[in-house]
């Protein structure tokens, strides 16, 4: 009887154990690498952006803070206490931290001293819904997603400000600002290829991710379904593999075939980026914690 009970327990527990392991079909994770929690105790982490030196800045969005993870010391510290409720972030070529700051539905630029400059605060005379995530191309143009997530701290009308939840483009000279896709349900994560030729956009409202061709003027063409999966934040590696978030981190090759899955012991994985001096450290934001995982592949910059 005891033996049969043990066998039953093994049969029940083994699948759970297997599900908790990293699935890596193309050897993109470093050999014997393990997920490391490098920070916790936050309310909700988001928006990781990598500095030129490999440090990663991320937000504790409900607490209105930007935190910095030092790649050399492997420790975290507060960079900014009042961040205009920054969410998604990305560094530009001048080392300014560009953030989707939805306190006032803006996109802002933050320099190394913490000075804030507003880049965008409206479209056609109306506030944006709440800029969520962004990606800056090698040529300086910026793609911004604008879904509606109603915030308890808004003093303005919490209903939708625009006529839908759209994808926008801001030119490198900051003069032109226009929509590049008005057909998405709720655009969220966004990332482009290192050569600036393709853009991936997650429509979390439709549970799909699309890929576009990027034209010289910033407009997008040849929209195609990439995978039947939405995403919060996302990144890309030097092999062109795309990393989507939500339940852990799921990795797809350029053809949309799943090649890896990194489980995270949190209810939600919000975003991901490659950090470290060699861009081989996968930095993951998930609920109240942040994690790192050493990779064979690297990020691009």
pLDDT digits (tens, 9 = 90+) for 149-206: 999 999 888 899 999 999 999 999 999 999 999 999 999 999 999 999 999 999 999 9
Mean per-residue pLDDT for 119-125?
96
Q: How confident is the model at residue 17 (pLDDT cuts 50, 70, 90)?
A: very low
Give the full edge-to-edge strand order of the sheet including 281-286: 36-39, 289-294, 281-286, 271-275
Q: Is pLDDT above 80 for 98?
A: yes
Cα dihedral angle (84, 128, 269, 72), rounded to 10 degrees? -40
By the 8 A CB rule, do 79 and 86 touch?
no
CATH code given to domain 24-294: 2.120.10.30
- Closest to 54 in 3D by CA, of 295, 275, 282: 275
pLDDT for res 10:
29
Return the residue matching tokens 């700051």. 101
Mean per-residue pLDDT for 212-230?
98
For the chain, which residues make up each domain, given as ranges?
24-294
Q: Is pLDDT above 70 for 42?
A: yes
DSSP string, 238-294: TT--EEEEESEEEEE-TTS-EEEEE--SSS---EEEEESTTS-EEEEEETTEEEEEE
Rounded distance between C-alpha atoms, residue 103 and residue 100, angstroms: 9
pLDDT for res 20:
60
pLDDT for res 156:
87
Phi, psi of 41 (to 5 degrees): 90, 10
Rounded distance between C-alpha atoms, residue 96 and residue 90, angstroms: 8
Rounded distance between C-alpha atoms, residue 55 and residue 94, angstroms: 15
DSSP 8-state assignment for residue 161: S
Q: Is pLDDT above 80 for 6?
A: no
Return the residue matching tokens 């205009």. 84
Mean per-residue pLDDT for 25-30?
96
pLDDT for res 8:
34
Q: Is pLDDT above 70 for 129?
A: yes
Rounded distance between C-alpha atoms, residue 120 and residue 275, angstroms: 27
Q: Is pLDDT above 70 for 100?
A: yes
**pLDDT tens-digit series, residues 265-292:** 999 999 999 999 999 999 999 999 999 9
Q: Is 30 or 156 the better-scoring residue by pLDDT?
A: 30
Q: Is pLDDT above 60 for 19?
A: no
Give the whole-number percent of the chain exceeding pLDDT 90. 90
Element (H, E) at 190: strand 187-192
**pLDDT tens-digit series, residues 285-299:** 999 999 999 999 999
Rounded distance between C-alpha atoms, residue 130 and residue 287, angstroms: 20
């Amino acid at each position: 009887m005891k033996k049969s009970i043990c066998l039953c327990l093994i049969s029940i527990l083994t699948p759970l154990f297997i599900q908790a392991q990293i699935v890596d079909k193309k050897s993109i994770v470093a050999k014997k690498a393990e997920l490391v929690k490098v920070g916790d105790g936050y309310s909700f982490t988001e928006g990781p952006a990598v500095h030129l030196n490999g440090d990663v800045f991320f937000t504790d969005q409900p607490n209105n803070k930007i935190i910095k993870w030092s790649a050399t010391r492997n420790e975290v510290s507060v960079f900014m206490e009042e961040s205009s409720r920054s969410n998604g972030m990305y560094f530009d070529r001048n080392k300014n931290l560009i953030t989707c700051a939805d306190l006032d539905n803006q996109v802002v630029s933050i320099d190394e001293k913490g000075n804030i400059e507003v880049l965008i605060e409206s479209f056609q005379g109306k506030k944006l819904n709440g800029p969520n995530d962004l990606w800056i191309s090698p040529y300086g143009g910026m793609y911004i997603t604008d879904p509606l997530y109603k915030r308890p701290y808004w003093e303005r009308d919490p209903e939708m400000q625009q006529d839908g939840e759209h994808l926008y483009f801001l030119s490198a000279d900051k003069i032109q600002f226009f929509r590049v896709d008005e057909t998405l349900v709720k655009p969220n994560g966004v990332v482009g290829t290192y050569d600036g030729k393709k853009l991936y956009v997650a429509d979390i409202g439709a549970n799909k991710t699309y890929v576009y061709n990027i034209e010289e003027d910033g407009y997008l063409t040849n929209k195609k379904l990439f995978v039947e999966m939405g995403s919060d934040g996302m990144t890309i590696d030097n092999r062109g593999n795309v990393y989507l978030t939500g339940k852990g981190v799921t990795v797809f090759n350029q053809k949309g075939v799943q090649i890896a899955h990194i489980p995270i012991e949190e209810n939600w994985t919000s975003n991901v980026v490659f950090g470290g001096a060699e861009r081989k450290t996968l930095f993951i934001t998930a609920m109240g914690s942040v994690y790192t995982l050493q990779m064979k592949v690297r990020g691009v910059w």
